Amino acid sequence: MTEFELNSLEEKIDQLVGLLQKLKLENVSLTKKIAGLNNENVALSENQKNSSKAIKQLILKLRDELACQTKK
């Protein structure tokens, strides 16, 4: 192998190592983002359940109040 070929190969290896490092950092970042979005999804789901319960209770209360008013 000539010196030129060795230098070219070394340069390609350096580029691949740099790309690998970049991809590792991107993977860590995306993994953190996914975890954050999953946490947000859980919180939103819990809020939706709580809102649904509150609305159902309000509907029942209004129904009971209307039933009492019509009996008077």
Could you read off the pLDDT tens digit of each residue along the chain, which spans 72 residues?
899 899 999 999 999 999 999 999 999 999 999 999 999 999 999 999 999 999 999 999 999 999 888 876
What one-character-per-residue DSSP string does the chain give?
--HHHHHHHHHHHHHHHHHHHHHHHHHHHHHHHHHHHHHHHHHHHHHHHHHHHHHHHHHHHHHHHHHHHHH-
Residue with tokens 């159902």: 56
Q: Residue 27 belongs to what domain range?
A: 1-72
Q: How many domains does the chain have?
A: 1
Residue 68: what pLDDT?
87
Q: Residues for the chain: how many in total?
A: 72
